[in-house]
Each structure stands twice: as C-alpha cells, then as structure tokens.
Amino acid sequence: MDGFKRLAVLAGSGLQRMILPLLLMAALIVGVYYILSTENARRASRPVVAGWEDIEECGSLTSFDGTKTIDLERDHKVALTEKTADGDDKSERKSSGTWSFDEDNERYTVSLADKSLEYTLVKPEESNVCIFTPSDDVDAVNLRESWFGRIEEKKDEED
C-alpha cells in the first residue's frame, strides 16, 4: 500500500509540474488577447476624421529651409515649431492653431494666429515623400512655401 501512495504522490507532483506552466501560458494568452481586442475596439469606435488618414502617415511636416515643423493632430489641432537658423533649441518658438479638410476640393486649411492658408497634399506614386503645398497645380509647386514629410514604412505587427 505504501508503494501505491508514493507512486500516487510522485505522479501527482509530476502532473502538477506539467499543468501549472500550461495554466500560466493559457492565462497569458487570454490576457494578451483581451488587451489587443479592447485596443482594436477602441480604435474602431473612434469617429472618422476627414483627411486625417492621408495626412497622418506623413508625420511631422518640415519647411523647405528646415527651420519650421508643423504637426497636425487628429483633433484638428496644429502645432508649429520654429527654430533659429543656427539650430539653437533654446530659442524655439511654438504656436498652435487648427486645421480642417474640404472633402469636395481635397484641400486642407491650416489656421495659425491671424493667418489661414489652404494646402493640397501630394504623395507621389512609388515614393515615401509627402508634399503639403499651397498650390492647386501640382506641376507648379512652390517649394519654399511647401511642407515636406516622410511616410514611414508600417511594421508587420501594426497590421
């Protein structure tokens, strides 16, 4: 009888050593699934903002001379950062404004301080460059008044 008890105890402890890691792994998988599904549900429930998806992939837009950047946010806010020509970060000047998108004309309006300008977003085929230009005519883009961005390659884990 003692032999059977010892065998049962040994078998039970071996079984516990196998089941415990499996239970922990299952709990981890369920936890990750829950986190990812709630994040995807949150993203899907956000309202569509006209013009946002196209401009979002451009990231920060930089002026031709590289001294200014503008960042457009999903909530229609714009942040302008101006640096001095010598690149001194301490003398940066920041201002904020708003943006809107006219779907019919495919034009963005950026309002900063007392000034509003209309822009067209140009994304050349087979390129990772964005040009945010005040010109309607893409054949006659004024580079000095335009803003430039780079489309980042999406990683597989984001898909």
Q: How far apart are CA 106 and CA 92, in angstroms?
A: 32
pTM score over 0.95? no
Which CATH number is 52-154 given? Answer: 2.40.128
Q: Establish how many alpha carbons lie within 13 A of residue 44's alpha carbon, considering only the half-sphere containing its beta carbon.
A: 6
**pLDDT of 54:** 87
Nearest-5° angle of CA 84, CA 108, CA 144?
35
Cβ atoms of 96 and 73 within 8 Å: the answer is no
Q: How far apart are CA 107 and CA 74, in angstroms?
A: 16
Q: Which residues contact 3 (CB under 8 A, 6 or more apart)?
A: none
Tokens linked to 156: 């597989």
Q: How far apart are CA 61 and CA 147, in angstroms?
A: 5
**pLDDT of 30:** 83
**pLDDT of 136:** 76
Instruction: Point out the residues of the chain with pLDDT beneath 70.
Output: 1-17, 39-48, 85-89, 154-159
**pLDDT of 126:** 85
**pLDDT of 159:** 44
**pLDDT of 137:** 77
- Please, which residues bridge with residue 95 across strands? 80
Cβ atoms of 111 and 98 within 8 Å: the answer is yes
